[in-house]
Each structure stands twice: as C-alpha cells, then as structure tokens.
Amino acid sequence: RSSSGQLARRAHGPPSSRAVEPPARGVRCARLPRRLALPGRAGALCQRVVPVAAGGCGATLAMLSWCLTPQSDGTDWWWRDVVVCAKLDEVMWRGVDGASVAYFGRRPKGDSNKRYVRLQWVELDECPHDLFWGNLDQPIVAFTEVDEKWFAWQPSSLITYHAFTILEVENASWFGETLFILLERCCDTLQILYGCGSEVHLFIRQFYANGRPRNVLQCEPQARKKLQRYVTLRQFLNWMDQDVAKNWQPYNLLAKNCQHFATDVQRFLINPKLGSKSRADLE
C-alpha cells in the first residue's frame, strides 16, 4: 500500500539491481555480512556475491582484492563492475516488474489518480556518454547534498551520516524538465540514478539506485548550491572517467567513504581546477 508522500513498489519486484552469474562448480559464494550493507558503515546496499574457494578468510580477501584491481581495458572495468546505474521515467500506468525493471507508484494527497515511476537498471560497459547524448553540452546548474543520519536521535552536528549528491541540468527534455542525477558511494560501489521531472526528484530522495527505500525521516537536505561557473555534463562524465575511475580506492570508513566522495564531486563542480582541500572550502 502506498502512502501519500512515500513511493511504494510491489513486494515481488527484483531483489537486486544487478544479475549475478552462478558460481563455478566446487566454488561456494560468500556474501558480505548484512551489517556491512548499510550506507556509510563500510557496506554496499547493492550486495555482491563473490565466488571464493573453500580456503577461509585468506581466499576471501584475495578474491576481494582481485575484484578491486583494475583490469587491462582502461576504466571500462570500473564502469562495468563498480557502478550501479539506473534510469527513472514517469509513466502513465504500472507495468510488469522484471529482472531489470521495477515500477513504483504513489497517490498524492487530494488526487484520485496514482503517479507511477519506472526504474530500469542499465548495464554499463564504458563511460555512459550515450545515456545523456542530448544533454552532454548542457551545464550542471546546481547541486544539493542530502545527509541521511545513522541514528534517529543524533544531532545534526555528528558526523555519523550517509551523504549523497543530487545534480541538476535544466531544460533536459522535450517539455523543458530538469534532469536530476543522483550520485553516492555505498561501500565499494558507486550508485548513479537519473531521470527528468518532479516525480523523479521525489524518488531519488526516497530510494537508492537498487530500489531499496531510504529512511526518509532521517534525511536532511542541505542548502541547494547554485553554480557560478558552469561545468557541462560532458566535462563531468570525463572527470568521472579520467579521475574518479582511475583513482578509485577500496572503501575505508576513515579515509574513503561516502562523505569523501560527495566532497570530491562538489569540489569539482565548484572549481574543476581546485586541488585537494578540506571540506570547509565548500562552505
């Protein structure tokens, strides 16, 4: 049942945003512990199944290390194995959920008609210029950081929160709607969720790219920051491909977490030539 403000998906929808190939014979599957699957607490919301030999922790760590090692095809391995990407479209009716698509619906207050959103996961093999081909030279005009608290009782001053960033590209559709792009690091995955319109904007504040709901009551949007010097979407994707992908490091709660990634994104948008500086430089 959907409430007036919270979007809802049918319970029998796809449990994961990425299909996993079955392991080879004689190999068991090790799934990251569920406690490590929370944003900001050293875990990916989109859990990965990692095949490991029956050799204990040593083999598990060796396989995880191999998965994080760049392959020979430049940055394509990063887009293929690290990034979870999904597209959002507002649709007129609910379709049938499948392995790569799910439908969500809500009924706004005072409206007898439901609003539907289609979430479709996209498998990437390279930098996704083709997904934004009509808007590559459009400028990113603003961004908003949203902080999701770990605990309901904590004050806003505590650093125990998960951070994600929402980018805005204006006039990105035939009807002049704004394109919203969600970017967030969840453990060793990067989630990208994008689409146009107000329903999309509502969805990305309430759900992750893999379709799991956020704790909306613990999310605090920060002040929307309008950019003085524009960075085009093409420039931003090139930065992701040439800088972020090539310098991607395993998750570290103290040194490489979701907050650090959000800071890197915002620093680049404010000044693409800005070097490594503290988070205070963004304020």
SS (H, E, C) the chain: CCCCCCCEECCCCCCCCCCCCCCCCCCEEEECCHHHHCCCCCCCCCCCEEEECCCCHHHHHHHHHHHCCCCCCCCHHHHHHCEEEEEEEEECCCCCCCCCEEEEEECCCCCCCCEEEEEEEECCCCCCHHHHCCCCCCEEEEEEEEEEECCCCCCCCCCCEEEEEEEEECCCCCCCCCEEEEEEEECCEEEEEEEECHHHHHHHHHECCCCCECCHHHEEECCCEEEEEEEEHHHHHHHHHHHHCCCCCCCECCCECHHHHHHHHHHHHHCCCCCCCCHHHHC
| Angle at 262 (CA atoms; ends 145, 6), nearest 5 degrees | 40
Tokens 């500086």 sit at which residue? 277
Neighbouring C-alpha atoms within 13 Å toward the C-beta of 74: 8
pLDDT, tens digit only, all 283 positions of the chain: 444 444 544 333 333 333 322 333 332 323 333 222 334 333 333 333 333 333 445 445 444 544 544 444 589 999 999 999 999 999 999 999 999 999 999 988 888 889 999 999 999 999 999 999 999 999 999 999 999 998 888 887 788 889 999 999 999 988 889 999 999 999 999 999 999 999 999 999 999 999 999 999 999 999 999 998 889 999 999 999 999 999 999 998 888 889 999 999 999 999 887 643 434 444 4
Q: What pLDDT is stored for residue 73 in this prediction?
A: 55
Q: What pLDDT is stored for residue 109 in this prediction?
A: 85
Q: What pLDDT is stored for residue 160 in this prediction?
A: 87
- pTM here? 0.71
Q: What pLDDT is stored for residue 45 in this prediction?
A: 35
Q: What pLDDT is stored for residue 283 in this prediction?
A: 41
User: Could you state, in order of their start, the residue ranges of all structural domains in the chain?
Assistant: 76-94+124-282
Q: What pLDDT is stored for residue 274 in this prediction?
A: 65
